[in-house]
Structure 1
Amino acid sequence: MRQFRISRAAAAFALLFNVLALATLAPGSSARAQGFQTIAPTAILIDAESEAVLFEKNADEPVAPASMAKTMTVEVLFNEIKNGRISMDTEFTISENAWRKGGAGSGGSAMFAKVNSSVRVEDLLRGIIVQSGNDAAIAVAEGIAGTEDNFARMMNERAKQIGMTNSTFRNATGYGHPEQKVTVRDLAKLALHIIETYPDLYKIFGEREFTWNKIRQQNRNPLLTMEIGADGLKTGNIDESGYGLIGSAVQNGQRLIVVVNGLKTAKDRANESRKLLEWGFRAFESRQLFSEGQVIGEVQVFGGDRRSLPLVAKKPVRVLVNRGESERVSARIVYTGPLKAPVKKGAEVAKLRVDRGDMQALEMPLYANEDVQVGTLSQRALDGLLEMSTGWVRNAFSSLVDRL
């Protein structure tokens, strides 16, 4: 990977402008809590609009998701509905397997659907989201993919497409499995994806109760009753995971997403989630670094009719900083190099990573702002010589900087 550090002045704080070429990308240091402490073993708080990370603690540690895995089950179903393969009126059968493994007699959360009954997808969705029904989740998995194992493969494929690079699913319910692990960072990505991709269907996450088979159940998300603007998403708890929650709330037009896991009690889960959200709304303000379409920086291109390529983002680049304070914010462009011609305008070729202090606050894709055609034979030969000679210089300079 190549990195180029970039920066610019922005409002009341400065970005140091250093252009630094690195031959390899070293793993980022663990982000430290800034201005907030939580008893949650793993946690993350992000701003939905900018995708800026406001707080993180062990956010990339693999953990058991418990029923938070059902959020991925719901995403697969939402995707099937969006693409017209399933409708809200489609009916799935509650098989004996779904009834025995996830129904009333299983000891876990259930929709209490009757064995061999046919249930509309719209009702199964509420059975999963509101009631956390394992029977409903298994019925959806079997209805879409034939078996829960096949459905888990679909879950993993969708997770990759969403960008959940450190999560693996093995079932639709969240039941304990030694290979079923997620990270709270990935769960936050999943929540943001669902909110942005399925705004109408997402509203189900905010429903406070659902009655099925004459059994009325309350939504298990404690944030929904706290009058803090919460409208989703999902709780989870098994012995391997402790108490966890994916939550989202909106105040004054700003949406925050919180994920916690590993807490000892349901009360701790509710309190820590609420405190993180309230702190995030209170403690930060948005600062714009780059406007939409503004050239953020350039990367080198080899073998092309030009040696540098300007990069832009598809939306304004904003980062949240501590309210009323000046903070040092640094940014860098990261890409896999050398970038070889041809490159088409609009192609995603790099990422912008923004650090606030010692915490990675934001990562977003960058796109080529111009076409680069394949260069002449002499241009390509000269680029090859330059790479051979200057590559050694970059390696040496990178090592020196890493030690400073």
Structure 2
Amino acid sequence: MIWIRRLSVLSCLAALAVSPAFAFETPAKQAFILDYETGIPLYAKNAEEPMIPASMTKIMTSYVVFDMLQKGTLSPEAKFTVSQNAWEKGGWASGGSTMGLSIGESVSVMDLLTGVIVLSGNDACIVLAEGISGTEEAFAKEMTAIAQEMGLKTASFKNATGLDEEGHEISAADLAMLAKLSIETHPEYYGLYALPSFEWNGISQPNRNPILGKISGVDGLKTGHLSVSGYGLVASATEGDERRIVVINGLDSISARAASAERMMRAAFRQFEVVAPFEAGETVGTIPVWLGKQDTVEAVVTDDIAIGIESSERRDMSAKIVLATAVTAPIEEGQKIGTLVISGANGLSEEYPVVAKEKVSKIGLLGRAFEGFAGLFDTGVATSEPVTEAE
């Protein structure tokens, strides 16, 4: 049975309130905003459920190649030959996004990587996959293994391109974290995402990112589109000393993606922020103690707490302490006694352990007998049932 006791801390959170504004909404089926510096989510809409990423997959394909280049197991000057398979699945005749490679052509890793990132070339992805792992299937298994090691638990890749294949999926939240890790661990290659165009075999194609060059500070990352998933984008931008990462997916047109991406990126800096309501050791509530020499004990948080919120919805934040069971003496100082749950109207909820600020000894046999006898005449809440919510 779960006990819940509402905190007086609500007044502390409400004190952060600002003048009312419209809450952020997006037509995207999946959406996520991540604060780069802290790794704290600022907004989420169906962000934890696995989705079809389409060509946003290529961020992971590129990450694997980045890793190999950084470790020295692959040279940027190494050349791979374009196979019949790569040309058929990813060349001009395929009708999909392509670098425009020719069968038998020998292309450097760095050129292929640029073709993947800037042009979303399916052919370039397959050439890299076959050159590195022998087959695209084997490369996709390696992609999944590396993603899982990185903590991207929803990641399951069946190919290097993002073309529709059963079981090929990842969540919007994990895509945002992948983008963060790409920027963080491979800054020497991340700049490829900001290239405005790339020319191959005499044909120049523009970067497909619709807000690159349109919003100041945007420097990546990758679009995606399939008929089964709609239009999506992973984008990142800086403003001053802040960086935000935005993921959207499931839009119904190119124009809708462009408009939603622009609005969401601007909102990421204007409407969302990271706040720090509590410091480690701060008291966040008072918990009743059963059979203790004192009736209550102060609950404190163990770490500094920082959360992402939408500025206009500070008033709608809620905080409560959840107890798995009644708190019964004896209690040691620092003993976990519950969980602080902070929720916001932006769809996010975070949990933090709370511990006893001080030791509470158990009352003696006589005291326990008296407390039990007194309970027979208690006209308040029945002692046999927990308080499910108390102001």
Deviations 1:53-106 (A, max 9, x none): 222211123321111111111111111112221121222221121112111221
In the aligned structure 2, how far is the partner of 1:142 from the partner of 1:331?
A: 53
In the alignment, which residue of structure 1 is the partner of 2:219?
A: 231
Which amino acid is 1:59 matched to? A
In the aligned structure 2, how far is the partner of 1:232 from the partner of 1:363?
A: 32
Match of 1:63 among 32, 36, 51: 51
In the alignment, which residue of structure 1 is the partner of 2:13?
A: 13
Correspondence 1:176 to 2:176 = no
Which amino acid is 1:42 matched to? Q
Q: Give the number of the structure with larger relative contact order, counting CA–CA contacts within 8 Å between residues 6 or more apart.
A: 2
In the alignment, which residue of structure 2 is the partner of 1:73?
A: 61
RMSD: 3.7
Given that 1:50 and 1:362 are in contact with CA atoms closer than 8 Å, whether structure 2 keeps it comes out as no
* DSSP 3-state at the match of 2:129: helix
Which consecutive unaligned segments of at least 5 residues does structure 1 have?
16-33, 298-309, 334-350, 367-395
Q: Residues 330 and 89 from structure 1, CA distance in 2 versus in 1: closer, same or farther, beyond 3 angstroms?
A: farther
In the aligned structure 2, how far is the partner of 1:38 from the partner of 1:147?
A: 39
Task: Kindly report which structure 2 residues correspond to 1:197-346, keeping only aligned pairs within 5 A, or say none.
Answer: 197-289=185-277, 317-323=305-311, 326-327=314-315, 328=317, 330=319
In the aligned structure 1, how far is the partner of 2:197 from the partner of 2:281?
A: 48
Given that 2:23 and 2:313 are in contact with CA atoms closer than 8 Å, whether structure 1 keeps it comes out as no
Q: Residues 326 and 68 from structure 1, CA distance in 2 versus in 1: closer, same or farther, beyond 3 angstroms?
A: closer
* DSSP 3-state at the match of 2:158: coil
Q: Percent identity of the aligned residues? A: 38
Deviations 1:186-206 (A, max 9, x none): 111111111111112111111
Q: Residues 331 and 111 from structure 1, CA distance in 2 versus in 1: closer, same or farther, beyond 3 angstroms?
A: farther
Given that 2:117 and 2:192 are in contact with CA atoms closer than 8 Å, whether structure 1 keeps it comes out as yes
Task: Kindly report which structure 2 residues correspond to 1:22-61, keeping only aligned pairs within 5 A, or say none.
Answer: 35-61=23-49
Correspondence 1:196 to 2:217 = no
* DSSP 3-state at the match of 1:137: helix
Match of 2:73 among 79, 85, 90: 85
Q: Residues 8 and 223 from structure 1, CA distance in 2 versus in 1: closer, same or farther, beyond 3 angstroms?
A: farther
Given that 2:119 and 2:208 are in contact with CA atoms closer than 8 Å, whether structure 1 keeps it comes out as yes
Q: Residues 54 and 99 from structure 1, CA distance in 2 versus in 1: closer, same or farther, beyond 3 angstroms?
A: same
Given that 1:10 and 1:289 are in contact with CA atoms closer than 8 Å, whether structure 2 keeps it comes out as no
In the alignment, which residue of structure 2 is the partner of 1:146?
A: 134
Task: Kindly report which structure 2 residues correspond to 1:123-142, keeping only aligned pairs within 5 A, or say none.
Answer: 123-142=111-130
In the alignment, which residue of structure 2 is the partner of 1:160?
A: 148
In the aligned structure 2, how far is the partner of 1:273 from the partner of 1:397?
A: 54
Query: Quick check: 5-14 or 227-236, which moved more?
Result: 5-14
In the aligned structure 2, how far is the partner of 1:50 from the partner of 1:125?
A: 29
* DSSP 3-state at the match of 2:275: strand
Which amino acid is 1:136 matched to? A
Greater Rg by CA: 2
4+ residue segments displaced more than 6 Å: 2-12, 310-313, 396-400
Given that 2:129 and 2:136 are in contact with CA atoms closer than 8 Å, whether structure 1 keeps it comes out as yes
Give how far 1:6 is off.
Answer: 12
